[in-house]
Chain A
Amino acid sequence: MQKEIKQTWFFKQTPEEVWDYLTKPELIEQWLMKTDLQPVKGYKFRFTFTPKTGSPYDGIVDCEVLEVKPFSKLSYSWNGSSNGGQRTFNSKVEWFLVPKENGTELRLQHNGFLLPEDVLNHTNGWNSCLKRFEEFINTVKI
């Protein structure tokens, strides 16, 4: 079972230019969502979107900047909530910018969905649970 998201992209721009698109609200808005992000550690901000009809989510992602290394790394918490205001998932988004000869490699990691801290202490148990779960799926005849 996949527990995190990892993607790698390549852009022809310099890390400085790509960084702008990750940290300036007026640029972020053009490709991601509306936000009031500031690249300052500890800064609390939001992404907002219009939820689809029937979606349980309320169109707000609450975030806090966790790490800022200009032009090389940015990470923030990513906490979604549903209509009742109940927090339904806590996760973390990390951006890594790696300078390359002709541009920038941008790596995204979005993880932490299943693993609040105390699960990490039970990794073995959880793994075996998921392993059995995988076996279970694989043996179910369709």
Chain B
Amino acid sequence: MNAQTLDAFQVIADPSRRKMLQLLSKDNMTINALAENFDMSRPAVSKHIKIMYKAGFISITDIGRERYCTLKQDGFNELQDFINYFDKFWTNKLKKLETLLNNRIKENLP
């Protein structure tokens, strides 16, 4: 099954994927164990896992016959980077506004 490549926000926009990330936050789990928590087909679970894997939210390790999923920080970093980006964005814009308003005061001086 093909898994699209989604950005970090699209990944966490889905309730099932959020629940999977929550479960994995408690412990590493095999794909089978993870699937037991969901009322969906095994291929559907695999598809979600692929999406999270591609976006850097989890890593997958083969141990014996089992595939283990572990939380990975890259996906979360992308979310944080995005928020940091916007923080800087607003700082820059509001500095501009400050300059504009300060100039206005000077223009109005006699």
By a CB distance below 8 angstroms, the chain B residues around A70 are: none
Closest Cβ of chain A to B94, distance in Å, is 5
Q: B98, A88: Cβ atoms under 8 Å?
A: no
A5 within 8 Å of B (CB atoms): yes
B residues apposed to A, CB below 8 Å: 7, 9-10, 12-13, 15, 18-19, 21-22, 25-26, 71, 73, 76, 79-80, 82-84, 86-87, 90-91, 93-94, 96-98, 100-102, 104-105
Q: Take A12-B101, A82-B7, A129-B25 as given contacts and tell me if A113 and B71 are in contact as well, using a CB distance cutoff of 8 Å.
A: no
Chain A: minimal CB distance from B43 (Å): 23
- With beta carbons under 8 angstroms apart, the residue of A1, A114, A132 that contacts B12 is A114
The 8 Å CB contact of A11, one of B13, B22, B87, B98, is B98
Chain B residues with CB below 8 A from A118, complex form = 15
CA–CA, A30 to B13, complex, Å? Answer: 34
Main DSSP-derived SS at the A contact region = mixed
A9 to B76, CA, bound (A): 29
Decide if A128 touches B22 in the complex (CB within 8 Å): yes
Question: Contacting A129 at CB < 8 Å: which of B22, B90, B98?
Answer: B22
Contact with B along A108-129 (1 / 0, CB 8 A): 1010011010110010011011
Binary contact readout A1-44 vs B (1 if CB under 8 angstroms, 0 otherwise): 11111010101110001100100000000111000000000000
New contact pairs (19) apart from A31-B93, A32-B93, A86-B10, CB-CB < 8 Å: A2-B83, A2-B87, A4-B83, A7-B91, A17-B101, A21-B100, A31-B97, A56-B7, A88-B9, A89-B9, A110-B86, A113-B9, A113-B79, A125-B22, A125-B25, A128-B22, A129-B22, A133-B71, A133-B73
Instruction: Report the nearest A residue to B72, measured CB to CB.
Output: A136
Within 8 Å CB of A88, what residues of B? Answer: 7, 9-10
A and B contact pairs by CB, cutoff 8 A, 9 listed: A2-B80, A2-B84, A5-B86, A12-B101, A114-B79, A118-B15, A122-B18, A132-B71, A136-B71
